[in-house]
């Protein structure tokens, strides 16, 4: 995925996070401001959210291999979907990767939802029968799920060492925690009074957006926001 956004906080509408912000994922699907790799994100989109009506723990996904800007059904329903925890993404497929719904983030293991912004050599990833697609991001998601999200920092360091060209910006949430890595691409943090946003790029010109330095892991949870350099991580929590 080339641009992604995560939310952890009070329940808000999906539309207010994805469609309404002036430079949100909708605009980023055709005119991203900070994208260094690829021009636009027309190869699909996905929104994952944890369902408050089911104890806040059930992940639900709506994905499509078509451009976000053309989906009038989503635009119609998104204002009525509310959640306290969201992982959303728009995709610019890496050359050679399939354009299909199963290659579109967020990926899930039933507890976590995960998006990857970047590229990785599939030869350095373990084979997986659980990956949803042969897409590099789906295989990477399966590798991260297999190790567990508590090891996210260590997993990224190992894969980054195995493929020095890799860009490994991950965004993942489980309804109570929101994690993100900056490894080769941009990541921004916005601390609002009602919650925290982590996004590939700011969705507006609020001066409170903070850029996360490269090679860092950010964790948002009950203890607030923590940022750790990715050379120091050993078994995140």
Residues found near ligand GLN in the complex (CB under 6 A): 1-2, 38, 91-94, 97, 103, 116-119, 135-137
For residues 102 and 131, give the distance between their C-alpha atoms in angstroms, rounded to a whole number.
Answer: 9
**Minimum distance, C-beta of residue 96 to ligand GLN, in the bound complex (Å):** 8
Residue with smaller CB distance to ligand GLN, 140 or 196: 140
**Minimum distance, C-beta of residue 51 to ligand GLN, in the bound complex (Å):** 26
For residues 182 and 184, give the distance between their C-alpha atoms in angstroms, rounded to a whole number.
Answer: 6
Three-point CA angle 70, 106, 17, nearest 5°: 60
**Minimum distance, C-beta of residue 188 to ligand GLN, in the bound complex (Å):** 16
Q: Strand order of the sheet with strand 113-119?
A: 107-108, 113-119, 167-173, 178-182, 216-221, 224-229
Is the distance from CB of 57 to CB of 108 less than 8 angstroms? no
For residues 104 and 220, give the distance between their C-alpha atoms in angstroms, rounded to a whole number.
Answer: 24
Residue with smaller CB distance to ligand GLN, 166 or 233: 166
- Active-site residue, selected from the candidate residues 2, 119, 159, 217: 2
**Minimum distance, C-beta of residue 4 to ligand GLN, in the bound complex (Å):** 8
What's CA 146's distance to the chain center, in Å?
18
- End-to-end C-alpha distance for the chain, whole angstroms: 27
Residue with smaller CB distance to ligand GLN, 26 or 125: 125
Residue with smaller CB distance to ligand GLN, 36 or 237: 36
Identify whether 2 is a catalytic site residue: yes
Residue with smaller CB distance to ligand GLN, 40 or 176: 40
Task: State the CB neighbour count (10 A cutoff) for residue 27.
Answer: 18
Task: State the CB neighbour count (10 A cutoff) for residue 160.
Answer: 20
Strand, coil or helix: what is 97? coil
**Minimum distance, C-beta of residue 200 to ligand GLN, in the bound complex (Å):** 9
Q: What amino acid positions are annotated as catalytic residues?
A: 2
């Amino acid at each position: 995925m080339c641009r992604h956004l995560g939310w952890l906080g009070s329940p808000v509408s999906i539309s207010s996070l994805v469609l309404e912000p002036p430079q949100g994922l909708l605009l980023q699907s055709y005119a991203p401001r900070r994208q260094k790799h690829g021009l636009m994100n027309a190869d699909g989109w996905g929104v994952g959210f944890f369902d408050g009506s089911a104890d806040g723990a059930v992940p639900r996904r709506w994905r499509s291999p078509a451009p976000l800007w053309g989906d009038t059904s989503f635009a119609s329903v998104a204002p009525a979907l509310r959640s306290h925890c969201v992982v959303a993404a728009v995709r610019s497929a890496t050359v050679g990767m399939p354009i299909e719904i199963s290659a579109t983030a967020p990926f899930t293991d039933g507890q976590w939802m995960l998006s990857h912004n970047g590229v990785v050599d599939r030869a350095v990833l373990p084979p997986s029968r659980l990956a949803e697609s042969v897409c590099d991001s789906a295989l990477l998601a399966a590798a991260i799920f297999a190790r567990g999200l508590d090891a996210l920092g260590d997993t990224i360091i190992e894969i980054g060492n195995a493929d020095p060209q890799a860009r490994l910006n991950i965004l993942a949430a489980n309804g109570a925690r929101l994690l993100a890595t900056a490894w080769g691409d941009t990541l921004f943090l916005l601390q609002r009074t009602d919650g925290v946003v982590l996004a590939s790029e700011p969705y507006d010109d609020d001066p409170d957006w903070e850029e996360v330095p490269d090679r860092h892991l950010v964790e948002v949870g009950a203890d607030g926001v923590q940022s750790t350099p990715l050379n120091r991580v050993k078994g995140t929590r």
